A and B are shown apart, each in its own frame.
Chain A
Amino acid sequence: MTDRAYRAAPRGALRIEPLGELTAIFDRRSMQTHLVVAPLPEMLALMGDGPCDAALLAKRLETAFDLDDVEDVRARVAERLAELAAMGLVAAA
Chain B
Amino acid sequence: MKYVSRIAVGPVQFRIGSEWREPVAALDRLYAAYPRDDARPADATVRLFAARPWRRWLRPSVHIGGDFVVPDALPLPLSMGLLAAEMAMNLQVALGWRRHLLLHASAVARDGRALIMSGQSGSGKSTLAALLGEGAWRLMGDEFTLIDLAGGDALAFPRAVSLKNQAIAEVAARVDPARLGPLMTGTPKGDIRHLIPRADAIAAMHQPVRPALLLFPRFGGETAIEPMGEGEAFVRLTEASTNYVALGEAGFAALTRLVREVPAFGISYPDSAAGIALAEQLWAEATQ
Contacts and interface: CB of A to CB of B under 8 A. Distances in A.
Interface of A: 15, 17, 19-24, 26, 28, 31, 33, 35
Contacts of A22: 229-232, 234-235
B231 A28 contact: no
B276 to A, nearest CB: 28
Given A24-B256, A33-B238, A15 B249 contact: yes
25 contacts: A15-B249, A17-B252, A19-B230, A19-B231, A19-B256, A19-B259, A20-B229, A20-B230, A21-B231, A22-B229, A22-B230, A22-B231, A22-B234, A22-B235, A23-B231, A24-B231, A24-B234, A24-B252, A24-B256, A26-B252, A31-B245, A31-B248, A33-B244, A33-B252, A35-B234
A33 B234 CA distance: 11
Interface in B233-273: 234-235, 238, 244-245, 248-249, 252, 256, 259-260
Minimum-distance CB pairs A-B, first 4? A22-B231, A20-B229, A19-B230, A19-B231
Nearest to A37: B231
Contacts of B232: 20, 22
- Chain B interface SS verdict (over half): helix
Contact of B235 (A15, A17, A26, A35): A35
A35 B248 contact: no
Contacts of B259: 19
Contacts, number: 40
Interface residues of B, number: 15
B234 A15 contact: no
B152 to A, nearest CB: 14
Contacts of B230: 19-20, 22
A24 B238 CA distance: 12
Contacts of B231: 19-24, 35
Interface in B145-179: none
Contacts of A28: 249
Contacts of B229: 19-22
Contacts of A35: 231, 234-235
Nearest to B246: A31
Contact of B260 (A15, A19, A21): A19
A36 to B, nearest CB: 10
Contacts of A15: 249, 252
B181 to A, nearest CB: 39
Contacts of A17: 252, 256
B245 to A, nearest CB: 7
A74 B248 CA distance: 34
